[in-house]
Amino acid sequence: MERWQNRVAAVTGASSGIGAATVKDLLKANLIVVGLARRLERMKELKSQLPAEQQKRFHAVACDVSSQESVDKAFDWIIKELGGVDILINNAGIFVAGQ
């Protein structure tokens, strides 16, 4: 994982469960992590529980993957503030009936 140190990883569904666990593991590996989820409050709570060094590398961004506008806005922020994404972990999904 050393080659990924200080790279930017975006994790969808980051507010709980597998997404939150993935965020923690990536931070332990010294990546910069953007947590994307609808529940911004839960990600802020997650951030407050992290060690200070990891808090500096974690960015919580509200994003509803069922909304193209929300996804575009989140990635525009990532590009502007962090220069882009090196790793994308798609942990959230949507279900559309009949498709």
Task: Give the count of domains, the chain.
Answer: 1
Residue 25 resides in a domain: yes
- Position 64 pLDDT exceeds 70: yes
Residue-wise pLDDT tens digits, 6-53: 899 999 999 999 999 999 999 999 999 999 999 999 999 999 999 999
Looking at residue 20, its pLDDT comes to: 97
CATH number for the domain spanning 12: value is 3.40.50.720
3-state secondary structure of 59: strand
Query: Which pLDDT does position 69 carry in this prediction?
Result: 98
- pTM of the predicted model, to two decimals? 0.91
Secondary structure (3-state) at 6? coil
Measured distance CA(74)–CA(86) in Å, rounded: 15
Which pLDDT score, from 0 to 100, does residue 85 have?
A: 98
Which residue range forms the structural domain that includes residue 61? Answer: 2-89
| Nearest alpha carbon to residue 35 among 94, 89, 84, 93 | 89
